[in-house]
Chain A
Amino acid sequence: QQQVKQSPQSLIVQKGGISIINCAYENTAFDYFPWYQQFPGKGPALLIAIRPDVSEKKEGRFTISFNKSAKQFSLHIMDSQPGDSATYFCAASISGTASKLTFGTGTRLQVTL
């Protein structure tokens, strides 16, 4: 059972464009929603995270939008750059559950010149 569904599987965006990745979750007990960025040959690294008591969080060019009623959250990358080309994973967890992240299936982003 896929508790966190992520789309699209792959995404090609021109430099300067907006990249949007969407995730939907099923377990209403989830209360922490991080996004991870992974470059080839490396481990995932935390990019940005949000709690369900806010609808949006922005850090630089990266923004998470959160819709609790729809059980959906999305990552927006503004002014996308070639250096943003990576695989992005959304995830969800229940606080206090020992780093037990449930991951989406990942989105491979390619930013072209």
Chain B
Amino acid sequence: NAGVTQTPKFQVLKTGQSMTLQCAQDMNHEYMSWYRQDPGMGLRLIHYSVGAGITDQGEVPNGYNVSRSTTEDFPLRLLSAAPSQTSVYFCASSYHSMGSGTGNTIYFGEGSWLTVV
């Protein structure tokens, strides 16, 4: 039972390079999202998706692109890496939450540590 799988675990990029962080889930969840975690700032939402072919921006979307061609996969692309994008990135997934106040368990991957030099 893999859950949410992220690759790579660690990556060092040079400023201006591009790369893709991969995320896959095997729980048939409709919702997937990407967060970044920075010291003293908690986790902040970058982009999210409510299903294949549907994506939307979160709180800090600039410099990142996403697409959702399948239910299982939700890659995050850094177009031109900047030192400000040095962070730990978490992919998450969940079922659709039904009704007010119900909320559903959101499952997180183990993170991708990215350093931009």
Contacts and interface: CB of A to CB of B under 8 A. Distances in A.
29 contacts: A6-B42, A9-B40, A31-B103, A32-B101, A32-B103, A34-B103, A41-B110, A41-B111, A42-B110, A43-B92, A43-B110, A44-B90, A44-B108, A49-B103, A89-B43, A95-B99, A95-B100, A95-B101, A96-B97, A96-B100, A97-B97, A98-B33, A98-B49, A98-B56, A99-B97, A99-B104, A100-B45, A100-B58, A106-B40
Given A42-B110, A42-B111, A43-B111, A99 B42 contact: no
A8 to B, nearest CB: 13
A16 interface: no
Interface in A40-74: 41-46, 49, 51-53
Contact of A104 (B42, B94, B98): B42
Contact of B106 (A101, A102, A104): A101
A38 B44 CA distance: 15
Interface in A72-99: 89, 93, 95-99
4 cross-chain pairs, A with B, having the tightest CB-CB distances, nearest first: A32-B103, A43-B108, A103-B42, A51-B101
A105 interface: yes
A107 B109 CA distance: 20
Nearest to B32: A99
Given A43-B108, A89-B42, A99 B31 contact: yes
B48 A46 contact: no
A31 B94 contact: no
